[in-house]
Structure formats: structure tokens, C-alpha cells
Amino acid sequence: MNRFLRLLAIIRTVIRYRLDSFIPRENLRWPLKLAVALAALFPANSEQRAVRLRHALQDLGPVFIKFGQLLSTRRDLLPTDLADELAKLQDQVAPFDSATSVAIIENALHQSVEQAFARFEVTPLASASVAQIHSARLHSGEEVVVKVIRPGIERVIHQDIQLLFLIATLIEKYSLDGRRLRPVEVVSDYRHTIFDELDLKREAANCSQLKRNFEASEELQKMLIIPKIFWDFSCQKVLVMERMYGVPVSNIDELNENNVNLKVLAERGVEIFFTQVFDHNFFHADMHPGNIFVDISKPDSPRYIGIDCAIMGSLSDSDRYYLARNLLAVFNRDYHLVAQLHIESGWVPAETNAQAFENLIRSACEPIFERPISEISFGTLLIYLFQAARRFGMEVQPSLVLLQKTLLNIEGLGRQLYPDLDLWQTAHPFLENWMAKRYSPQRILSELKDQAPSLLELLPSLPHLVFDKLRQDTGPSSKQQQQLRRHEQQQIDRLERLARQQQLFNVTLGTFAILFIISTLFFN
């Protein structure tokens, strides 16, 4: 019933703001044509279409607001009026009552705002989809911002997620592409992501990790700044962090007025993304302009300021490996390798005809590469590859959904800063260096050093594990094979007796070998 009522609320919002005007009439099946025709019977809304869309997404709540935030970064896909208006969803969502905000803070910190802060601004500094921000000063003198979760937001998000599950289930059941798209699994991943965003203590931990990653070297410190967390004043519903001063990354005019090198800024955004994904395996997955500012103290060497680390992503080691090789292969136009990697990774079925798949990828990518490299969109390329692979049963990879969304954000932001951004010029050397480091002797030695304790623990039991496996594989499968199996079993028993006699020797020899490796790693 809750899902049904929420669905009615969505339909009412669509009609109220006449969002049916965004739906093209041609090529609609008759049920949708009928629904659009019925919506047209209601009074027209006098607001501009972009304003209507923003108000509708804002009324529908955080799940829809975040969708609008993603759309606002794709100025290469949206008309200017829609992109400009949806950009307001990044940090201009209507705030909730300040008295409620104060009450949440005092209840969470178990003290009044006067006790916690030397100064607290009741008027919000900014307001977003799931929280709002107040400025304050600690008694120790540090300028901080206080982030507060919106009241009742869990219930609203829960209703929307349940509705998305209902829609995803229907798509999976009744759509020909349902299994390939795996919508239920995608919604399930999104549910974990958005509910994690409601836990500000988790966000604080993400901030600390990201800050530590980019403070590891002077080169990384030149690219990204992350605010300090004040743990004594942070909990699940309240987060207090260092206040950072900078120019919103979407304010191109102010950046130009301060002579900021936008080419360097755009390229560093790409480099930050690939560093997070491949070197750190911990990437900011909500990099819309409302979450990013620019430190302009050095205009020729501008740095990004990240202020919201609620949604972070990571990939399996195999996903990073196949992703890097796929990107390199695509831009080298090695379509045979692209097809082979898709099959090896399991992204398409193992029985896929590699030659036919290669031909289809070539026909999809070659028209794109006819354009100048600076005009090639990574997002568009992903879409084309996905469409090409549909015929071969390629499934949506939920582990890559956040990555794909972040890549779209980065590309949209980079092209907004510097329209001639050559994404590949920055990404290509990075990926090649990453692949080279992956197979370097230093990394292999480091892996051996990390695995040495586990190998020492495993070595004494290794003979037993081998023979247990052999026993499992030699059970009789048919009457005709029983005699052969008995003979094999006799051989295994004989080998096992020999192994027990030599086990002490093997363990001793193996132990000395591993200790020799460890001593070489530590003392050379």
C-alpha cells in the first residue's frame, strides 16, 4: 500500500508540473500514448520547462534530486536551459526549519549549541538533498561547518527504494532485456549506497581515508584537499569538519576573473579520478559540482577541494585489471583484445563468438574515432559499447555502476571547465604506467612479503590438502569404472604412505626456503 501511495504521489507530481511534455509522442506503445493523452487534459503549468523539471525532482525527494544532479553535469547531452536549472539542485535545495536543525544537533551531541560551539549560525550555509550545512566556530578557535541529516529522510528514501524495487522486478520479469540489465541487483546496490549516505559517521571515516590517501605525497597534495574531521563533535546524524574556502567549480566566470588555469584544473580532475580508482581503489562517487570547490591561491596550479565523501566506491582487483586493459585496448583500436577481455572477465558469456563480437565492437567504435580525440566522449563510448554487446548477452555489472556514473560526472565537469579537454591524453599514460607497475618486480616482491606468513601457516598441511582433493576426485562414478577407481585408490594410498614418511623433510625444506625469501626481502 505504501508503494502504491508513493506511486500515486509521483504520478500527481508528473501531472502537476506537466512533465508529460518531455516525453516524445512518436514510437510510443498505445498504453503510454493513452497516459500522455490523459495527462494533457489537465491545466498547463505556466513555468518554464526547466523550472518545472527542477521543482518536480525537488518535490519527489532525494532519490530524484540525485538523478537531477547527475543530469546537470552532462551539458553535452542536455539543452543549456535544463543544465543550468538542474545545477541548482546541487546546493540550493530548500532548507528545513533551523529550529529543527538545532534540536537534532543538541540531541546528537548531548549538549546545547552554545556549549558545543563558540559561534553557531542558525541560517543554513547550504542545503542539499539529504542534509544541510551550518557554519560555526569551535571554542578552540577553528572555523568549521556542521552537517545535519534532514529529519524523516530515512522514511522517504525507504519508500522510494521500495518503489524502485517494484519497478525493477517488473522490468526483470516482463522485459526482454530484464535479465541482462539486472535491475533488481542494481537497485539493491543503490539502496546500500544511499543509506550509507545517511550515516555521517561513515562519511567522516571516508573523509579521513581520502585525506590520508592524498597526503601521501607532495604531488598528490597539489591536486586535492580534503577537510579535517572533528571526531569529538561527529556522530551518525551530525558531522563537524574544517571549513574550507574556495570558489565553486561551476562558477566559471569567477575562476576566469582570478586567472585560474582551467586546462590544468580539468586535467587534474581526470588524474584525480584515475588515481583514486586504480592506485587507491577508493574513489569519490558523488563528484557533482555542488561537492567540489577550487583553491585559487595559486591560479597557475589550482587545487580541488572535496567537501562531501558520503558516497565512495571501490572495485575488485580483477575489475580494475580488466577495466584498465579494456580502456587501453579500445583507444588503441585493438577490438580483438576488447572482445577477448569481455569474455575472459565474464562480462559476456564464455561461449560468445569472439570474431563476431569483435566485428560488432569495431562497427560501433570506428565512427566515434573518426572525430578529433578531444571531442570523443567516454560516456558516449561506454553507451555504444554497451549497445553493441547487447546482442551477445552482456549484463550490467553492478560493481561498475558507481564507476560509470562517476566517470560521466568527471567528463561533464572537465568539459565544462575546458571544452577542448582531451580526456585520453591524461588517462592513457596513467593507465600504461599502472599496468607496468602491476607487473613490476617491486610489486611482486611486496606481494610475496605480504603472503609469506600465510604460506608458512599453510605449508605443513599442504600434503594433506593435496591428497584430500585427490580422494574427492577419485570416487566411483559408474560400475564400469569401479575397478579403475580401486586401482587409482591403491596408488593414492601408496603415495600417501610415502608422503607421510617424507613429510618432515618436506616441511623443513619448505620452511627454510620461505625464510630465505623473507630474509632476502627484508635485508636487501
- Residue type (1 letter), 266: A
Tell me the three cell numbers of residue 63: 532519490
- The dihedrals phi and psi of 112, each to the nearest 5 degrees, come to -75, 160
**Distance from C-alpha of 517 to C-alpha of 295, rounded to nearest angstrom:** 47
State the pairing for strand pair 303-306/224-225: parallel
User: Nearest CA to 471 among 463, 459, 480?
Assistant: 463
DSSP, collapsed to helix, strand or coil, labels residue 214 as helix
Phi-psi region of 491 (alpha: psi -120 to 50; beta: other; left: phi over 0): alpha
| Structural contact between residues 165 and 157, judged by C-beta atoms closer than 8 angstroms | no
**Distance from C-alpha of 201 to C-alpha of 234, rounded to nearest angstrom:** 7
- Residue type (1 letter), 177: D
- The dihedrals phi and psi of 99, each to the nearest 5 degrees, come to -60, -40
| Structural contact between residues 417 and 450, judged by C-beta atoms closer than 8 angstroms | no
Q: Which residues contact 293 (CB under 8 A, 6 or more apart)?
A: 244, 246, 247, 248, 249, 304, 305, 307
**Distance from C-alpha of 382 to C-alpha of 202, rounded to nearest angstrom:** 31
Question: Is 286 tagged catalytic?
Answer: yes
Sign for the CA dihedral angle at 411, 416, 420, 421 comes to negative
State the pairing for strand pair 283-284/292-295: unpaired
Q: Which residues contact 349 (CB under 8 A, 6 or more apart)?
A: 343, 392, 393
In sequence order, the β-bridge partners of residue 136 are: 120, 144
Interior angle at CA 460, CA 459 and CA 463, nearest 5: 85
| Structural contact between residues 134 and 117, judged by C-beta atoms closer than 8 angstroms | no
Q: Which residues contact 331 (CB under 8 A, 6 or more apart)?
A: 424, 428
| Structural contact between residues 418 and 252, judged by C-beta atoms closer than 8 angstroms | no
| Structural contact between residues 415 and 421, judged by C-beta atoms closer than 8 angstroms | yes
Phi-psi region of 141 (alpha: psi -120 to 50; beta: other; left: phi over 0): left
3-state DSSP of 146-207: EEEECCCHHHHHHHHHHHHHHHHHHHHHHCCCHHHHCHHHHHHHHHHHHHHCCCHHHHHHHH
- Residue type (1 letter), 179: R
Query: How remote is the C-alpha of 455 from its chain's centroid?
Result: 34
In sequence order, the β-bridge partners of residue 283 are: 313
From the list 91, 286, 308, 319, the catalytic residue is 286
Instruction: Show which residues are catalytic.
Output: 286
